[in-house]
Each structure stands twice: as C-alpha cells, then as structure tokens.
C-alpha cells in the first residue's frame, strides 16, 4: 500500500475535500443535528454547532497529518454547499482493506450523490493508495445504505447477527465488498 492521505477529488457534481473549521455550521445544519440522519450512525446527534466545530478542529483536521487518513466532506459544485461525509473508518493493513462509512443530509437523499462520491473514493483507494479490498456494512434496517453499496459494484457478503452497534443499539449488519480485481466502479 502507498498511503497518500486525503486529496481533493472531483466528480461530475461534487468536490470531495478536506474539512476546515469553517465547515462546522454547514455540517451541523445539514446532517449532524438531524436525528433522522444519525439514526443508524455510531455517534449521537450534535447538540450545538460548537460540538461540531470541536470535532472538526480537534480531531478531524489534525488527523489529516497522517497519510493513512482518508476523510472527505462532500461539496456540491453548483452551490458550494457541504452536504455529507465519506471516510475510510477502518483500515486493515495486513489485507490492504479499507472500510467505508458515509452520511448525507436528508435534503440530498435520493439524488445519486453518495454513489457518485463513493465510486470516486473506491477508485482513489485502489488506484492511488494501493488498497486491494474496500468494504462497507449497514444496519439491516437501513437498506438505503445497502443500495449505495450495490450501485458502486460491491458484492453482498452476508449478514452478521448482532455484529454492530449504532444509535439503535446492538444490530444485525449486512456486509458488502469490492476487490481491485472486480469490475471497475
């Protein structure tokens, strides 16, 4: 593997970029404060923009110094609005695997933005960082996330019972993955 860190990526409609402290109000407003967005996530709804600002400033920005950090904010090219997040939330070095996690503000659900962003990230992880496998999992009660996984070419690998914990408690998880040798996304 060749860790190259979080670099700016562009798709037809999106700019995937590093976070800045100035992103806190948009992140808070667009998804971090929304209990519907955070329902199946592992972190609680943010109670103030200051919580969001502290997360970005004290954790996410310093992590960009590490070349094995892959974490992007999703910005609409047309408006400059920050609408979501995608990251490699876990890396398994021995098998060159990255696990992706993502979320997006409700106002942008159903427009194909997340598959567009995820395809760009998967290709970047394969082509630039040298990963062999990219996987993702979702609460079985959140099938929309599974649709994104299928749209980007991931194959369903099975359900692990009570294998995850999110804001709903301990949950069954459906897992998907794509290998570098699989058809390109």
pLDDT tens-digit readout, 119-144: 999 999 999 999 999 999 999 999 99
For residue 157, pLDDT over 60 is answered with: yes
Residue bearing the bigger pLDDT, 184 or 3: 3
Looking at residue 185, its pLDDT comes to: 46
Mean pLDDT of the region 159-182: 97
- Where do the domains of the chain lie, and which CATH numbers do they carry? 9-179 (3.40.630.30)
Q: For residue 183, is pLDDT > 80?
A: no
Show the CA angle centred on residue 105, arms to residues 99 and 145, nearest 5°.
40
pLDDT for position 27:
98
Q: What is the reported pLDDT for 184? A: 57
Per-residue model confidence as pLDDT tens digits over 95-119: 999 999 999 999 999 999 999 999 9
- Note the pLDDT tens digit of each residue in 39-94: 999 999 999 999 999 999 999 999 999 999 999 999 999 999 999 999 999 999 99
């Amino acid at each position: 593997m060749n860790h190259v860190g979080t670099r700016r990526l562009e798709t037809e409609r999106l700019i995937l970029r590093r976070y800045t402290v100035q992103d806190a109000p948009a992140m808070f407003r667009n998804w971090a404060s929304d209990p519907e967005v955070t329902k199946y996530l592992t972190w609680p709804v943010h109670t103030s923009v200051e919580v969001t600002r502290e997360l970005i400033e004290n954790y996410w920005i310093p992590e960009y110094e590490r070349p094995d950090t892959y974490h992007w904010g999703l910005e609409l090219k047309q408006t400059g609005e920050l609408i979501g997040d995608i990251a490699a939330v876990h890396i398994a070095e021995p098998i060159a695997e990255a696990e992706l996690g993502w979320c997006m503000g409700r106002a942008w659900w159903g427009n194909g933005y997340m598959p567009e962003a995820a395809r760009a990230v998967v290709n970047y992880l394969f082509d630039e960082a040298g990963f062999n496998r990219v996987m993702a999992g979702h609460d079985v009660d959140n099938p929309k996330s599974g649709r994104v996984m299928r749209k980007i070419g991931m194959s369903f690998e099975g359900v692990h019972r009570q294998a995850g914990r999110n804001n709903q408690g301990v949950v069954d998880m459906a897992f998907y993955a794509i290998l570098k040798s699989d058809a390109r996304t």
